Amino acid sequence: MNNLLSDNTNFRVRSISLKRAVEILAKNNIEVNDCETTIILDFLYHIAQNYNKCEAFNKIETLMGNRTC
Is residue 36 in some structural domain? yes
How many domains, in total, are found in the chain? Answer: 1
Structural domain includes residue 28: yes
User: Is 6 inside a domain boundary?
Assistant: no
Distance CA 31, CA 36 (A): 9
- Of 1, 6, 17, 14, residue with least CA distance to 45: 14
Question: pLDDT digit string (tens) for 39-68?
Answer: 999 898 888 877 767 666 666 666 666 555
- Residue 13 domain flag: no
pLDDT confidence of 13, banded at 50, 70, 90? low
Residue 41: domain span = 18-65
Confidence of residue 15 (pLDDT cuts 50, 70, 90): confident
Q: Is residue 27 part of a domain?
A: yes
1 within domain boundaries: no
pTM of the full predicted structure?
0.58
Residue 2 lies in a domain: no
**Three-class SS of residue 41?**
helix
User: Taking Cα atoms as reference points, which of 15, 60, 22 lies closest to residue 39?
Assistant: 22
